């Protein structure tokens, strides 16, 4: 017989977890997120055979320190991941039509890109496709490129590395683009596609928490995408994260934010060059 799981997450337990998520991950958890937290953590309780949320909290935050393995799974459960191929397509038009030609004119032959908050991989693979298309249409201008893709969720990083998606996820792409960059499965009952190796081989994945002081890499980039991630942070945290990005963005490089995000009121070495696209001064 299945074990009964506590039905309600108490206000006290919600506040303890919400406080940890906000201070260590940077994501705000207002009271309105209580039911969401309750339903998402119920799955963790079931899989661990823990009957109450209080016992689960004790398990995660034990007297001997946090249970790091479970902490990562808890964060996975509570962070929202929503993305698609060529989402907010104007950014990719600007990248191929303006940013890349400007970088080439500045003497760059190799381009390094970073998808910060890559979720399940659609964005970094889109960046790789955009690079391939630019190189195909402008032979000799760029010799090489690489895409670093990071996220705090190990669950979505694993999915991203597999590069397998529902057929519907590429329905907005032209038939030519589908054929050039995706392989279709032979399973008619569950139609899926996989990103071709030519695109995948330019993308590397790593787990990263924006709250960490040291991001663990030293490369500098010409292009950084961090879209629809900062909306979960308060204003001071947003500015602190973008300041960290500036350590990895070369002068003249480009930062792309989500269409609902802004750097208004922040004192940063960036100029606005297109809607939610900024160039480092």
Closest by alpha carbon to 96, among 37, 153, 140, 136?
Answer: 136
- Judge whether 243 counts as a catalytic residue: no
Cα 123 to Cα 171: distance, rounded to the nearest angstrom: 15
Q: What is the DSSP letter of 259?
A: T
- Judge whether 40 counts as a catalytic residue: yes
> One of 40, 54, 180, 194 is an active-site residue; which one?
40
In contact, 67 and 55? CB cutoff 8 Å:
no
Structure-derived torsion over alpha carbons of residues 24, 234, 85, 244, reported in degrees to the nearest 10:
-70
Cα 256 to Cα 68: distance, rounded to the nearest angstrom: 32
> One of 44, 76, 87, 151 is an active-site residue; which one?
151
Closest by alpha carbon to 220, among 148, 118, 161, 271?
Answer: 148
Cite the DSSP H helix spans in 5-89. 11-24, 34-48, 53-60, 68-78
Which residues are catalytically annotated? Answer: 40, 151
């Amino acid at each position: 017989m299945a074990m009964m799981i506590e039905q309600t997450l108490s206000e006290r337990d919600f506040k303890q977890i919400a406080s940890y998520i906000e201070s260590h991950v940077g994501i705000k958890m207002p009271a309105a997120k209580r039911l969401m937290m309750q339903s998402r953590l119920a799955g963790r309780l079931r899989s661990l055979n823990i009957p109450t949320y209080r016992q689960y909290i004790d398990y995660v935050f034990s007297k001997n320190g946090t249970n790091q393995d479970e902490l990562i799974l808890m964060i996975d459960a509570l962070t929202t991941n929503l993305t698609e191929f060529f989402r907010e397509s104007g950014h990719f038009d600007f990248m191929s039509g303006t940013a890349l030609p400007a970088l080439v004119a500045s003497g760059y032959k190799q381009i390094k890109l970073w998808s910060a908050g890559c979720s399940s991989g659609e964005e970094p693979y889109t960046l790789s496709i955009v690079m391939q298309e630019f190189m195909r249409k402008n032979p000799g201008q760029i010799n090489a490129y690489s895409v670093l893709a990071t996220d705090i969720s190990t669950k979505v990083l694993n999915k991203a590395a597999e590069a397998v998606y529902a057929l519907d996820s590429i329905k907005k792409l032209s038939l030519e683009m589908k054929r050039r960059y995706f392989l279709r499965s032979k399973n008619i009952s569950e139609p899926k596609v996989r990103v071709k190796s030519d695109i995948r081989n330019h993308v590397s994945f790593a787990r990263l928490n924006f709250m960490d002081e040291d991001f663990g890499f030293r490369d500098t980039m010409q292009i950084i995408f961090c879209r629809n991630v900062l909306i979960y942070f308060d204003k001071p945290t947003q500015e602190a994260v973008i300041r960290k990005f500036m350590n990895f963005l070369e002068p003249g490089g480009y930062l792309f934010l989500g269409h609902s995000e802004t750097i208004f009121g922040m004192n940063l070495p960036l100029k606005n060059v297109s809607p939610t696209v900024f160039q480092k001064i």
